[in-house]
Amino acid sequence: MIVVLILAVIAGLIYGGYALLNSKGVSIPFISPPTPSKVQDPGNFKIKPFDISSRFIDNTKIGKLFIIMGKAKNEYYYGKSQE
């Protein structure tokens, strides 16, 4: 009977501590739900490549080079250098 009482007191203390920390906004790993992180725009979400082509060329000094050519369209409403 005493063991059950001790376990009930321990469970009550644990729950009380959790409730207190949760009311203060403290998140407890593996118990509290994960907080969503904000995804910040790295600046390339709305920059779209198009007309991409590639080819190999021979260079006399270093050998074969792989050349990639293309265009990119800025679909932001402002220039990315203005941030």
| Residue 64, domain member (yes or no) | yes
| Residue 30, domain member (yes or no) | yes
pTM: 0.41
| Residue 83, domain member (yes or no) | no
Q: What are the beta bridge partners of residue 67? A: 55
45 contacts 38 by C-beta, under 8 angstroms: no
What pLDDT score does 69 carry? 96
Q: pLDDT for 45-79, tens place per residue?
A: 788 899 999 999 999 999 999 999 999 888 887 77
| Residue 11, domain member (yes or no) | yes
Range of the domain at 17: 2-78
Q: pLDDT for 3-46, tens place per residue?
A: 999 999 999 998 888 888 878 877 777 776 777 777 777 766 78
The number of domains in the chain is 1
Looking up tokens 């080819």, which residue turns up? 55
